[in-house]
Structure 1
Amino acid sequence: MSDTTDTSPDAVVDVPGEQAADMEAEAAKPRAEKDWEAEAAKWKTLARKHEARVKDLVPAAERLRELEDAQKSELEKLQGSYEEALGAASRAQHELWRERAARRHGLDDELLGFLTGESEEELDERAKVLATKLAAHAEEARPKPGPAPDPTRGQSPPGGGSTADQFAALFAN
């Protein structure tokens, strides 16, 4: 009792009574064939319609791309200007901090080049150190008080006269 089934179209299938009759009836029915020509014509029409639409939209897409590029260029210009302005403001702020620190600690304009730092506090601290070192150096450079000069030295004698006369008078005695 073995039923053999072959899937090939030419295969003979042994199927009991009723099922075999159904299969033969189904095989005898003509299958409805698709009208491939009509289907192809439909797709050609749709393709042409979409091609026309694309042709209409291409100029609009190009114009949009041009506008975006123009805006982008303008935006990039503005960003560049903004960054340049920020840099200038930052440099001006830093210079202001240097000036304030120098004035606060009594430093000359010539010494501003020696003040470096990233923050106002750092510049102020360095100005303070520089002012302290300059004050210590100025203290060392001052002449030390020595004996007081003789008040009679370098004065002319009561009789007056020239320096040569005074000199001669000293050796004459």
Structure 2
Amino acid sequence: MPISFEPLAPAHLPLLHRWLQEGHVRAFWDDGERTADAVRAHYFRVGRDVPGFVFRVDGRAAGFIQRERVTPGHEFARWVAPEGETWGVDLLIGEADLTGRGLGAAVIQAFLAHLQAERPALRRVLIDPSPANTRAVRAYAKAGFTPLTRLRTGDGEVQLMQLDLPAP
């Protein structure tokens, strides 16, 4: 099952907009009102420092993943690695028929291999699913993440999880 990643581009807007309307996505990734203009304004805003990517599985556009460096002042800053870089990731599987097939763990592992190749100082990855999103929590555990703590954030309660990576 080949997995590839494309930087989010304006041409992906209709796809991302459609995915963000899906019930299985909105249940755990609800950024509020999601018109095409709101999606464009959010994901393509000038100065946005959270690169996003569309991922493909066997050549089919399947979902979206984004990454963000955890720096001082970030809400997860107290959980950074003692040395090296810490990044946060979020992902959604946009196509409903691709959920429940074990793709989440495979996508995360492939994405982290790319991220670590690009950022050799990467030592810790954080992810923050809703505790109610048991599929995501299981997928991240399968990818090697371990629970850290439950937190209340601006997006509600999250299960913060970490994955420590060895130096390349």
Q: TM-score, length-normalised on structure 1?
A: 0.19
Q: TM-score, length-normalised on structure 2?
A: 0.19
Higher relative contact order (CA 8 A, sep 6+): 2
- Give the number of the structure whose alpha-carbon radius of gyration is greater: 1
Higher relative strand content: 2
Higher relative helix content: 1
